[in-house]
């Protein structure tokens, strides 16, 4: 924290929030930072350059990014993005997550159970059409309904017309609406994954740290009509990797940033939301760790869940630490104060008056959210029911009711434009382990009682006169939802069929549905109010500062850029690159003990490797969670690396950008080539990627 404090001091004393030369921003492809690139790097991306990179970029709907790297549909992402698929394809006999996987022939490629990839095909501005549907006389609830209806209509029209997945995206907190059209790939097959120990070398201790020695990659191939899809826009793979000082671009789907939030909302995040989420993560991590320690098979079953929990714990912990640092919080406060002062100085203009009033509207709406948050968190967000079976039950209980509504009035996840994705999730054949379901359900029911109280009337109904362990066992053992055919049958039926099924998990979800929906209604209406208010603030910010900044991230495609360079931490210079030799050195320093032990293949193949080959590297591009798997490309648009992490100092990027010590961490393309050829005997795959065949 010391060095971050110094940085913040520097920034606040010196150049303001961001240096004029800083590589800030998660830019829209239709509004790239042309001036900045020209000024600092003397580089002007052409429309063709941008379109090629856009269409070579792939969104992994399980929560990450990736890119096409061959004409025959090879798509590369991170191992930790592919982990969900690896986990679901694994069994007690074949632990692909731990042991890795390589399909030497296309016939051996394994189809993912419920993975969807999206490629952004086109973007259309629909701001005016959306805003026109909202009348000034509408209250928040009516406005929300009107907005939902017009968005659903736009999406459906687009999908009907183009056949493409169509989503209206809200940018600038409601200042702009854009229709994004995606090509969907749902036949996605696993081609290659290293051992998790190679991908995630150093485990939780090294996560969000640097230097690193991780081969965090996973390679899939997309199919159409049972054949490898032909891809026009794929990235040329440059096996030389980048050099220190190089300009690089990152094309991916940052999940979300909070740089526009008001202090009232940030205060709630600091004092309530983040501490509550951390408490959840702590209990889940202990629960999963203790389960995993009991046997190797348990560890296998829980691996992906545990990774996710540990990863979030570090990420949110970093964010909370940022907000708890008065230096950072005061800087955010100063920014808001200055903006509000700017508004006051234009006191006569109604736009500025509305901007000022918007802060109060947001604070009031946030209070309404806080008030219903126990019900919203535990029932609507299902914190009480950490269980895949409960997730199925929720979708099945709501589906008939939602499907009967006009498209525009449905909850967004039940809109026509979302149904393909919903069904992919609901009809997944992922393995479900009763013991793990019971374990997590027991724990989350215990948590529910701890927060809402054993005597709460709805809690009592949820528990049905039993303790958490007995109730969880009854639900998991009693439900038939593990049966895919049963789920399909119910999904095709009506509400009466759901009730008649007399399934304990369905009954539970029916029981809590009114409370869950009521809480969601309040939260959605409050968020609508907030969104309108944020749009008013955005308008004023544009008026005062111009529209030169990029909007907060929304898990849609963005372009970041930056320089490959190291940084100084606590007086120590951290170089930009590590090399393969460093991996072996780190293992020796830790007596090759978990989580620093070398995978067996890496021990055996050491002598074949050029140990000076670059392994991982850092650059100062602006990224956040969701960017995992994003390609790093050079001026020529060539693939030179793949983002897989940020250092611990980058976690605060959620709230403000800095380029002094925050760094994005990538696997170097040179290491990918070297490892595929020499460690994994996958030269055929390397040849395809490097364009040496066909």
Residues that bind a copy of itself (CB under 8 A): 1-2, 5, 203-205, 267, 270-271, 275, 278-279, 281-283, 285-286, 289-290, 293-296, 310, 313, 320-321, 324-328, 446, 449-451, 453-455, 463, 465-470, 473, 590-591, 593-595
Residue 383's CB: how many other CB atoms inside 10 A?
Answer: 19
Cβ proximity to a copy of itself, 90 vs 311, nearer residue: 311
Cβ proximity to a copy of itself, 446 vs 495, nearer residue: 446
Half-sphere exposure of residue 694, counting CA atoms within 13 Å on the CB side?
A: 11
Distance CA 210, CA 208 (A): 7
Please say whether the beta carbons of 655 and 630 come within 8 A.
no
CB of residue 618 to a copy of itself, shortest distance in Å? 20
Distance CA 313, CA 418 (A): 30
Indicate the SS3 state at residue 433: coil
CA angle 678, 680, 682 (to 5 degrees): 90
CB of residue 266 to a copy of itself, shortest distance in Å? 11
CB of residue 285 to a copy of itself, shortest distance in Å? 5
Cβ proximity to a copy of itself, 299 vs 543, nearer residue: 299
CB of residue 601 to a copy of itself, shortest distance in Å? 19
Cβ proximity to a copy of itself, 97 vs 633, nearer residue: 97
CB of residue 442 to a copy of itself, shortest distance in Å? 8
CB of residue 298 to a copy of itself, shortest distance in Å? 9
CB of residue 1 to a copy of itself, shortest distance in Å? 4
CB of residue 649 to a copy of itself, shortest distance in Å? 12
Q: What DSSP letter does each residue of 3-67 carry, written as one string?
A: HHHHHHHHHHHTT-SS-TT-----BBTTB--HHHIIIII-----HHHHHHHHHHEEEETTTEEEE
| Residue 508: both structure tokens together | 């539970």
CB of residue 322 to a copy of itself, shortest distance in Å? 8
CB of residue 462 to a copy of itself, shortest distance in Å? 12
Provide CB contacts within 8 A for 625, sequence distance 6+. Answer: 254, 255, 256, 315
Distance CA 297, CA 305 (A): 14
Please say whether the beta carbons of 552 and 260 come within 8 A.
yes
Q: Is the dihedral of CA 349, 350, 352, 357 positive or negative?
A: positive
Cβ proximity to a copy of itself, 593 vs 694, nearer residue: 593
Terminal Cα-to-Cα distance of the chain (whole angstroms): 52
Cβ proximity to a copy of itself, 292 vs 560, nearer residue: 292
CB of residue 490 to a copy of itself, shortest distance in Å? 29
Please say whether the beta carbons of 661 and 568 come within 8 A.
yes
Distance CA 159, CA 318 (A): 40
Cβ proximity to a copy of itself, 439 vs 633, nearer residue: 439
Cβ proximity to a copy of itself, 127 vs 280, nearer residue: 280
Report which of 573, 540, 511, 460 is spatially closest to residue 210, judged by C-alpha positions: 573
Cβ proximity to a copy of itself, 163 vs 205, nearer residue: 205
Cβ proximity to a copy of itself, 2 vs 20, nearer residue: 2
3-state secondary structure 356-390: HHHHHHHHHHHHHHHHHHHHHHHHHCCCCCCCHHH
Cβ proximity to a copy of itself, 14 vs 465, nearer residue: 465
């Amino acid at each position: 924290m010391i060095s971050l404090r110094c940085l913040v001091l520097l920034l606040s004393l010196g150049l303001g929030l961001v240096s004029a030369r800083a590589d800030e921003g998660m830019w829209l492809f239709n509004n790239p930072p042309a001036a900045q690139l020209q000024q600092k790097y003397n580089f002007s991306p052409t429309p063709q350059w941008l379109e090629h990179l856009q269409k070579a970029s792939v969104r992994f709907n399980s929560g990450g990014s990736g890119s096409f790297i061959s004409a025959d549909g090879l798509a590369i992402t991170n191992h930790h993005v592919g982990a969900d698929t690896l986990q679901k394809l694994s069994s007690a006999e074949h632990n692909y997550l731990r042991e890795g996987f390589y399909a030497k022939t296309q016939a051996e490629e394994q189809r993912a159970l419920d993975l969807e990839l999206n490629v952004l095909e086109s973007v259309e501005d629909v701001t005016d059409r959306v805003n026109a549907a909202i009348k000034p006389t509408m209250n928040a609830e009516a406005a929300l309904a009107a907005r939902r209806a017009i968005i659903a209509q736009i999406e459906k029209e687009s999908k009907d017309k183009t056949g493409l997945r169509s989503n209206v995206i809200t940018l600038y907190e409601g200042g702009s609406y854009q229709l994004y059209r995606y090509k969907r790939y749902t036949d996605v097959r696993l081609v290659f994954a290293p051992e998790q120990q190679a991908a995630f070398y150093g485990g939780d201790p090294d996560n969000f740290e640097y230097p690193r020695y991780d081969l965090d990659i996973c390679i899939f191939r997309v199919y159409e009509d049972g054949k490898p899809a032909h891809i026009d826009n794929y990235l040329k793979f440059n096996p030389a990797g980048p050099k220190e000082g190089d300009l690089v671009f990152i094309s991916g789907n940052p999940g979300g940033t909070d740089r526009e939030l008001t202090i009232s909302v940030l205060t709630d995040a600091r004092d309530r939301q983040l501490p509550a989420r951390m408490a959840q993560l702590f209990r889940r991590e202990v629960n999963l760790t203790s389960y995993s320690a009991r046997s190797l098979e348990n560890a296998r079953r829980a691996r992906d869940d545990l990774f996710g929990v540990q990863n979030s714990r570090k990420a949110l912990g970093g964010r909370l630490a940022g907000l708890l640092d008065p230096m950072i919080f005061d800087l955010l406060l100063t920014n808001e104060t200055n903006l509000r002062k700017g508004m006051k100085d234009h006191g006569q203009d109604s736009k500025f008056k509305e901007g000022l009033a918007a802060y109060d509207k947001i604070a009031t709406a946030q209070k309404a959210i806080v008030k219903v948050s126990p019900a919203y968190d535990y029932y609507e967000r299902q914190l009480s029911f950490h269980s895949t079976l409960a997730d199925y039950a929720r979708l099945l209980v709501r589906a008939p009711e939602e499907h009967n509504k006009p498209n525009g009035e449905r909850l967004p996840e039940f809109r026509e434009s979302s149904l393909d994705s919903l069904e992919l999730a609901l009809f997944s054949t992922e393995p479900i382990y009763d013991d793990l379901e019971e374990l997590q359900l027991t724990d989350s029911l215990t948590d529910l009682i701890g927060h809402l109280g054993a005597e709460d009337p709805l809690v009592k109904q949820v528990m049905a006169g039993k303790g958490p362990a007995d109730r969880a066992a009854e639900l998991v053992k009693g439900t038939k939802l593990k049966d895919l055919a049963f789920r399909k049958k119910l999904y095709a039926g009506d509400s009466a069929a759901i009730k008649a099924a007399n399934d304990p998990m369905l009954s539970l979800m029916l029981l809590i549905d009114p409370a869950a929906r009521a809480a969601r209604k309040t939260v959605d209406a409050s968020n609508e109010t907030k969104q309108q208010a944020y749009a008013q603030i955005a308008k004023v910010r544009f008026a005062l500062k111009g529209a030169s900044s990029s909007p907060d991230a929304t898990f849609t495609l963005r372009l970041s850029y930056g320089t490959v360079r190291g940084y100084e931490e606590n007086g120590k210079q951290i170089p930009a690159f590590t090399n393969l030799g460093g991996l072996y050195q780190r293992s020796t320093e830790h007596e090759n003990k978990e989580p620093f032990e070398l995978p067996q293949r890496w021990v055996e193949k050491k002598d074949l490797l050029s140990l000076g080959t670059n392994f991982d590297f850092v650059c100062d591009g602006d990224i956040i969670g969701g960017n995992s798997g994003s390609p790093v490309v050079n001026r020529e648009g060539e693939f030179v690396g793949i983002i897989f992490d940020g250092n611990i100092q980058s976690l605060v990027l959620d709230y403000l950008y800095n380029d002094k010590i925050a760094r994005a961490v990538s696997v170097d393309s040179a290491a990918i080539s070297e490892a595929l050829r020499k460690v994994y005997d996958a030269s055929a795959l390397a040849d395809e990627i490097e364009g040496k065949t066909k």
